[in-house]
């Protein structure tokens, strides 16, 4: 075998033109099919979709909340009563379970004829009635705070039960007053001192149906004055005369009551300035009369 | 990969038309099967599409195609033994015998081992020197020369035996 025969042998291994065209077409087809040009537009669409979804989620997250709260009707959430402060208390009640009378009964408690409210009694009843109708469950339980812009509120106190658990109870409707209003009150005004011990400032005053309270605070303590009807005095208070105050000279905290006609004036004073206390007590119009 | 980064159709077509015969021959000698040869040839040029390095010259392209064709066929043969794409009995065998049944010389050449067949083709048909072949196929020069010598002797013996018969 010479070289020429060998070359002819290799020449025989040659694809036909048809094979060549077919393979070239396949190659170019594969190129167009597999190596597609990049389409930035589709990524822009995807980016815009993700961005829009993020905006929607941030604007309305409640649409995507999957917790159980989503399934609870909103009125139930809004009206759910606060947890009872006492284990002995029944579980939280819904508004429907709480009789409306329980609110109005307490709040509409009639004031005695000698109430300081006087002409404001009818107004107070109206306000209380409307407040009861609109009151939330918290208000019904007496946990409401005195609104800054409203001088009407429900006074609530936490008192220990027999088993020492705490339970909320109503006291009665109250109305915040300025001290000028206290002094100008037709029933109780003249029983409050015109001159307060030096170093104490007026803190707050609350008018109830059958009593009026005022608090004064200072660097060295506080003064609490409450005036109420004698008929409401229970148990019988320790009633002293102003002159007997001097016997409390060594005491840090003094609490005493002074009988003034149909009313009891109760003082609770934290301080040692007995002379100042005496001057304050005797400075009331009642004693000056 | 953007389309602009690929070789253009014109460039691919030019290289294809120039070297498709060579690539086809190498693939055929490696696979000994027409269908496998066509697939391998296509794969070689598809790899050329993705090969973005600039070639220094047409000789550079030619050498790259030889090496790529050889590797492609080796991979295909490995894959061929691993996968059962069809029942061999059901498919008529398509080998070099279909190509040229009367060419005994080709049959003798194809009966040589791969390590002799491709150097003989590159030396006698493509005209490469032994040093060039050793560089392209990445084998030692002395080893290549030995393969060429042994291949020639085996081919000569096979032809002499046919003549004696």
Q: Do B90 and B114 sit in the same domain of this protein?
A: no
Are the beta carbons of A15 and B120 separated by less than 8 Å? Answer: no
Say which CATH number the domain at B58 has: 1.10.1740.10
B80 and B1, same structural domain?
A: yes
Residues of B in contact with A13 (CB under 8 A): 24-25, 28-29, 96, 99, 106
Question: How far A64 CA sits from the closest chain B CA (Å)?
Answer: 38
**B79 and B31 within one domain:** yes
Q: ipTM score of the complex?
A: 0.78
CA nearest neighbour of A177 among A140, A151, A200: A151
Q: Residue B23: what pLDDT?
A: 93
One domain, residues B50 and B16: yes
Residue B67 burial (CB count, 10 A): 15
Q: Is the pLDDT of residue B88 over 60?
A: no
CB contact under 8 Å between A14 and B25, yes or no, is: yes
Q: What is the DSSP string of B21-68?
A: HHHHHHHHHHH--HHHHHHHHHHHHHHHHH--SPPSSHHHHHHHHHHH
In chain B, how many domains are there?
A: 2
3-state secondary structure of A190: helix
pLDDT of residue B145: 92
- Say whether both B71 and B34 belong to one domain: yes
Residues 6+ apart with CB under 8 A from A274: A245, A246, A248, A249, A254
Residues B77 and B131 grouped into a single domain: no
| Same domain? B35 vs B91 | yes
d(CA B132, CA B119): 10
Edge-to-edge strand ranges of the sheet holding A263-270? A152-160, A166-177, A200-207, A211-218, A221-229, A263-270, A253-260
Domain final position from B66, B96, B126? B96
> For strand A200-207 and strand A166-177, is the pairing parallel, antiparallel, or unpaired?
antiparallel
Please return the burial class of A166, using the count of CB atoms within 10 Å of its CB with bins 0-12, 13-18 and 19+: middle
Q: Are B106 and A13 a contacting pair at CB < 8 A?
A: yes
Tokens of A59: 């604007």
Which CATH number fits the domain that encloses residue B139?
Answer: 1.10.10.10
In chain B, which residue's Cα lies nearest the Cα of A26? Answer: B42
Nearest CA in chain A to B152: A1
Assess whether B82 and B48 both reside in one domain.
yes
SS3 A93: coil
Q: Are residues B137 and B91 in the same domain?
A: no
Judge if B65 and B125 occupy the same domain.
Answer: no
Query: What is the rounded average pLDDT for all residues in chain B?
Result: 80
B20 — pLDDT class (breaks 50, 70, 90): very high
Q: Which of A282-286, B21-25, B71-75 has the lowest mean pLDDT?
A: A282-286
pLDDT (0 to 100) of residue B41: 92
d(CA B88, CA B93): 8
Instruction: State which of B96, B114, B132 marks the end of a domain.
Output: B96
Distance of CA A221 to the CA centre of its chain: 28
Q: How far apart are alpha carbons A269 and B22 in whole angstroms?
A: 116
Residue A183 DSSP symbol: H
Name the pTM for this structure. Answer: 0.43
* Cβ(A211)–Cβ(A232) below 8 Å: yes
Of B110, B106, B108, whose CA–CA distance to B161 is shortest?
B108
Q: Pick B125 or B91 by higher pLDDT.
A: B125
Under-70 pLDDT residues of chain A: 1, 35-42, 64-173, 234-235, 248-251, 285-289
Over range B40-54, report the average pLDDT: 86
Same domain, B107 and B155: yes
What is the number of other CB atoms lying within 10 angstroms of the CB of residue B110?
18
Instruction: Show Cβ contacts of residue A14 under 8 Å, excluding neighbours closer than 6 positions.
Output: B21, B24, B25
Residues in A closer than 8 angstroms to B13, CB to CB, are 24, 28
Write the pLDDT tens digit of every residue in B99-140: 444 467 778 888 888 888 888 888 888 889 999 999 888 889
Q: In terms of domains, do B84 and B16 share one?
A: yes
Domain of B115 in residue numbering reads as 103-165
| Domain stop point among B54, B76, B96 | B96
Lowest pLDDT segment from A243-247, B91-95, B122-126, B142-146: B91-95
What pLDDT score does A177 carry?
84
CA gap A142, A169 in Å, rounded: 7
Token code pair at residue A77: 């959430």
Residue contacts between A and B (CB atoms, under 8 Å) = 86
């Amino acid at each position: 075998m010479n070289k020429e025969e060998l070359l002819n042998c290799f020449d025989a291994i040659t694809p036909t033109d048809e094979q060549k065209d077919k393979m070239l077409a396949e190659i170019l087809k594969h190129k167009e099919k597999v190596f597609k040009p990049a389409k930035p537009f589709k990524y822009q669409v995807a980016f815009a979709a993700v961005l829009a979804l993020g905006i929607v989620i941030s604007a309305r997250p409640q649409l995507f909340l999957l917790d159980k709260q989503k399934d609870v009707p909103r009125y139930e959430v809004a009206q759910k009563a606060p947890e009872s402060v006492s284990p002995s208390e029944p579980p939280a009640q819904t508004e429907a379970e709480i009789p409306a009378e329980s609110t109005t009964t307490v709040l509409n408690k009639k004031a005695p004829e000698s109430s300081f409210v006087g002409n404001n009694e009818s107004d107070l009843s109206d306000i209380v009635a409307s407040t009861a109708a609109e009151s939330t469950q918290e208000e019904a339980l007496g946990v409401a705070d005195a609104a800054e812009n409203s001088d009407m509120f429900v006074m609530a106190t936490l008192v220990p039960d027999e088993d020492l658990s705490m339970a909320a109870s109503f006291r009665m409707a109250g109305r915040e007053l300025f001290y000028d209003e206290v002094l100008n009150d037709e029933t109780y005004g003249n029983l409050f001192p015109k001159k307060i011990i030096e170093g104490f400032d007026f803190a707050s005053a609350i008018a109830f149906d059958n009593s009026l309270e005022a608090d004064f605070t200072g660097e060295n303590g506080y003064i609490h004055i409450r005036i109420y009807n004698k008929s409401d005095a229970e148990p019988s208070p320790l009633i002293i005369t102003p002159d007997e105050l001097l016997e409390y000279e060594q005491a840090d905290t003094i609490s005493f009551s002074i009988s003034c006609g149909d009313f009891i004036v109760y003082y609770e004073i934290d301080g040692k300035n007995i002379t100042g206390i005496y001057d304050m007590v005797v400075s009331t119009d009642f004693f000056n009369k | 990969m953007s389309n602009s980064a690929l070789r253009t159709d014109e460039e691919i077509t030019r290289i294809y038309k120039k070297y498709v015969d060579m690539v086809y021959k190498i693939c055929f000698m490696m696979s000994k099967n027409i269908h496998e040869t066509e697939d391998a040839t296509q794969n070689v040029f598809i790899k050329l599409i993705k090969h973005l390095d600039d070639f220094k010259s047409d000789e550079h392209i030619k050498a790259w195609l030889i090496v790529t064709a050889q590797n492609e066929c080796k991979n295909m043969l490995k894959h061929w033994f691993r996968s059962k794409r069809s029942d061999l009995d059901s498919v008529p065998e398509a080998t070099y015998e279909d190509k040229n049944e009367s060419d005994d010389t080709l049959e003798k050449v194809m009966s040589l081992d791969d390590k002799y067949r491709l150097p003989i083709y590159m030396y006698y048909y493509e005209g490469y020197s032994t040093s060039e072949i050793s560089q392209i196929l990445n084998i030692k020069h002395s080893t290549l020369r030995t393969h060429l010598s042994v291949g020639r002797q085996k081919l000569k013996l096979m032809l002499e035996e046919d003549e004696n018969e």
